[in-house]
Amino acid sequence: MSALHLAAVACFGVGVGVVVLTALASLRVRRAADRLHFLTPATALGAPLVGLGLVLENGWSLTSAQIAGTCGLIMITGPVLTSAALRLAAQREGTVPQESPE
């Protein structure tokens, strides 16, 4: 069992822990806007850590490239989805105009 394998498992475990804990923490709040704040650590911290762990385990290969690409997609699309859902919540609460930003 090499140090690289241990580092990979550690990164993967921390990433999974972040995702699971943020999911559980989002149960403790009621408003959708507050829940969306707990989605951010899962996409911005949990996904890259899981991807880093898998990349460390696989080394330099096409498999690692696909894992990194998938985790990169999660990191890019996460904030977009969060802002879209926040805008929707604000429109429904009436804090921004319904036609915004058109």
Partner 1 sequence: MNPWLAGVLALVGIGLPVAVWIGSRGDPVDRLVGLELAGVVAALALLAFAQAVAQPSYLIVPTIAVVLSFAGSLLFARLLAPRS
Residues contributing to the site for partner 1 (CB under 8 A): 9, 12-13, 15-17, 19-20, 23-24, 26-27, 32, 35-36, 39, 42-43, 46-47, 50-51, 54, 57-58, 62-63, 66-67, 69-71, 73-74, 77-78, 80-82, 84-85, 87-89, 91-92, 98-99
Q: Whose structure tokens read 């609460």?
A: 93
Q: Find out whether 50 and 15 touch, Cβ atoms under 8 Å.
A: yes
Q: How far is the CB of 41 from partner 1 (least distance, A)?
A: 11
d(CA 50, CA 78): 15
**Least distance to partner 1, CB of residue 3, Å:** 15
| Cα–Cα dist 1/5, whole Å | 6
User: Whole-number minimum distance, CB 97 to partner 1, in Å?
Assistant: 9
> 3-state DSSP call for residue 88?
helix
